[in-house]
């Protein structure tokens, strides 16, 4: 089971900024088929932990595995090829491109692609572009944005832009999908749309990792929850267990 494809395991991750221990010896396992949540107050180290897992920050200590394979030495973009993709806390929609073009950007570049490739393999290239078009439409359909495919991304509502970012992440075909605060600023109805989408992805066998504050999203849609506070893991368990954990309640009441 340790080598199950798409299983994410982070062991003893730590990083220090100046004197600040932003993440201290945090471990996590996220299973395929599950929505795994990471919660904690502002500044708890959640985004930093995602940066460590995805390779955007180098840990002082810790190892990351996907499907049992140590990927700790790989660059972020190589991790995407190994099946790990993430969103960032700030929305990253290209406003002057269309919705469809934004999704198309998520498709992995063909390995070994060169500027001459279109000339060398014109037929294959055209076929590939056709395929990307078809797949883009199917991804847009699945997040409910197909009718907006040709609108500029900047014309979408904030909630729809979040769904667009999910579609672009799906284009990578990664097994491990990590989202930094996807629910931030969304009304309840759109939280539900997002939560249902995460459940569907998990049901298809994806490993879904969610960093969020939104208690409705976490307690309504996650299978397992990790709680960070001051860079440390203070609790982990089912949503029910976390809800009843006195230390967690105290952290959230007193900040
Ligand atoms: P969260 O996502 O849980 O709100 P962060 O991971 O963004 O928390 O931040 C954790 C702590 O590390 C905060 O005190 C933050 O100010 C600090 N921090 C984050 N990134 C950096 C950085 N690049 N340099 C210095 N300090 C940082
Ligand atoms: Mg954050």
Give mean pLDDT, residues 237-254. Answer: 90
39 lines ligand 1 (CB under 6 A): no
Query: How far apart are the CA of 126 and the centre of ligand 2, in A?
Result: 40
Question: Is a pLDDT exceeding 50 seen at residue 1?
Answer: no
Question: Is a pLDDT exceeding 70 seen at residue 217?
Answer: yes
**In the chain, pLDDT over 90 holds for what percent of residues?**
71
Q: What are phi and psi of 10, to 5 degrees?
A: -115, 130
Token readout for 153 is 């991304």
- Per-residue pLDDT at 2: 47
Question: Is a pLDDT exceeding 50 seen at residue 51?
Answer: yes
> Which residues 6+ apart lie within 8 Å of 4 measured at CB?
31, 32, 67, 68
- Per-residue pLDDT at 244: 92
Give mean pLDDT, residues 125-131. Answer: 78
- Per-residue pLDDT at 131: 86
* 149 closest CA partner among 206, 101, 113: 101
* Calpha distance 229→248 (Å, rounded): 9
Query: How far apart are the CA of 14 and the centre of ligand 1, in A?
Result: 13
Query: How is residue 38 annotated by DSSP?
Result: E
Checking phi first, is residue 29 left (phi over 0); if not, alpha (psi -120 to 50) or beta?
A: beta
H helices within 55-113, ranges in order? 76-81, 99-104
pLDDT band at 117, cuts 50/70/90? low
Query: Could you give the ipTM of this predicted complex?
Result: 0.97
Question: How many other CB atoms sit within 10 Å of the CB of residue 244?
Answer: 11
Q: Which of 14, 19, 20, 214 to mutate to test the pocket of ligand 1 (most atoms within 8 A of CB)?
A: 20
* Calpha distance 50→196 (Å, rounded): 22
Q: Which ligand is nearest to the CA of 39?
A: 1
Query: How far apart are the CA of 48 and the centre of ligand 1, in A?
Result: 6
Give mean pLDDT, residues 128-149. Answer: 92
Average pLDDT, the chain: 90
pLDDT digit string, tens, across residues 5-31: 899 999 999 999 999 999 999 999 999
* Calpha distance 208→217 (Å, rounded): 13
139 lines ligand 1 (CB under 6 A): no
pLDDT band at 155, cuts 50/70/90? very high
pTM above 0.80, yes or no: yes
Domains in the chain, please, with CATH?
8-254 (3.40.50.300)
58 lines ligand 1 (CB under 6 A): no
Token readout for 218 is 């976490």
**In the chain, pLDDT over 70 holds for what percent of residues?**
92
H helices within 55-157, ranges in order? 76-81, 99-104, 117-120, 122-142
46 lines ligand 1 (CB under 6 A): yes
* Calpha distance 245→236 (Å, rounded): 9
Q: Which ligand is nearest to the CA of 179?
A: 2
Helix axes 158-171, 188-203, angle to 10 degrees: 10
- Per-residue pLDDT at 95: 93
**Ligand 1, atom 25, residue with closest C-alpha:** 17
């Amino acid at each position: 089971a340790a080598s199950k494809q798409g299983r994410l395991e982070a062991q003893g991750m730590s990083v220090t900024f100046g004197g600040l221990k932003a993440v201290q010896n945090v471990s996590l396992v996220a299973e395929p088929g599950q929505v795994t949540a990471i919660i904690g107050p502002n500044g708890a180290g959640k985004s930093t932990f995602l940066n460590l897992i995805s390779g955007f920050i180098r840990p002082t200590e810790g190892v990351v595995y996907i499907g049992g394979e140590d990927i700790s030495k790989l660059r972020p973009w190589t991790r995407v090829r190994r099946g790990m993709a993430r969103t960032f806390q700030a929305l990253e929609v290209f406003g002057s491109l269309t919705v469809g073009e934004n999704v198309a950007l998520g498709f992995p570049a063909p390995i070994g692609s060169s500027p001459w490739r279109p000339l060398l393999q014109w037929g294959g290239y055209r076929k590939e572009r056709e395929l990307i078009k078809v797949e883009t439409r199917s991804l847009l359909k699945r997040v409910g944005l197909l009718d907006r495919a040709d609108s500029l991304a900047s014309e979408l509502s904030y909630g729809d832009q979040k769904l667009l970012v999910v579609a672009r992440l799906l284009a990578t075909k990664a097994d491990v999908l990590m989202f930094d605060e996807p629910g931030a600023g969304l009304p309840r109805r759109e939280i539900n749309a997002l939560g249902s989408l995460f459940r569907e992805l998990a049901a298809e066998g994806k490993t879904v990792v969610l960093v969020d504050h939104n208690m409705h999203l976490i307690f309504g849609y996650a299978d397992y929850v990790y709680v960070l506070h001051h860079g440390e893991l203070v609790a982990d368990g089912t949503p029910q267990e976390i809800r009843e954990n006195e230390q967690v309640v105290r952290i959230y009441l007193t900040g």
